[in-house]
Amino acid sequence: MTAALMLAGCSSAPKRRAPPPATVSARLPPPKLSAAYNRPYTVKGYRFVPMSTSRGYRAAGIASWYGFESGNQTAMGLPFNPEGLSAAHRTLPLPTRVRVTNLDTRTWITLVVNDRGPFVPGRLIDLSYGAAKRLGVVSRGTARVLVEAVQ
């Protein structure tokens, strides 16, 4: 009887739920166009002007990945999480949700652009290590992708 009461007491205790992870399924705030990370900037002598909207954005190009900057901050001031589903783009307003499709494998993921880059000529987007792993880009280093803004 005592054991049954003890077990009943344990099962009636409220269970604490862990907060949901910060994933791409979370609602994004609209881009704050006046924020420093959404203003024109210059890198390596090139001037970049962030777009005022991502509506209708669709571009094909080369994706690369980055993942060794763990602990550093993104352009938005957030800690960079290499295992997360995020990316860097030179001109999309931050934050922007995008669907990235690997054109060779037809696999796709939805992620959040929250950083600036890549600053290598010929590259369209830099994926976090976690995003690149899910798209099969890590082993090759780069991949042909289609990037589409998700409203």
What domains sit in the chain, N to C, each tagged with a CATH number?
51-151 (2.40.40.10)
121 pLDDT band, cuts 50/70/90, is very high
What pLDDT score was predicted for residue 71? Answer: 65
> How far is residue 94's CA from residue 39's CA, in Å, rounded to a whole number?
10
The answer to whether the beta carbons of residues 131 and 111 sit under 8 Å apart is yes
Residue corresponding to tokens 């696999």: 107
> How far is residue 7's CA from residue 129's CA, in Å, rounded to a whole number?
44
82 membership: H or E segment, kind and range: none
List pLDDT tens digits, range 74-116: 999 999 999 999 999 999 999 999 999 999 999 999 999 999 9
> How far is residue 92's CA from residue 149's CA, in Å, rounded to a whole number?
9
Total length of the chain: 151
What pLDDT score was predicted for residue 21? Answer: 36
Q: Is the pTM of this model over 0.85?
A: no
List pLDDT tens digits, range 1-43: 444 444 444 444 444 343 333 345 567 888 898 899 999 999 9
In terms of Cα–Cα distance, which of 37, 32, 27 is closest to 53?
32
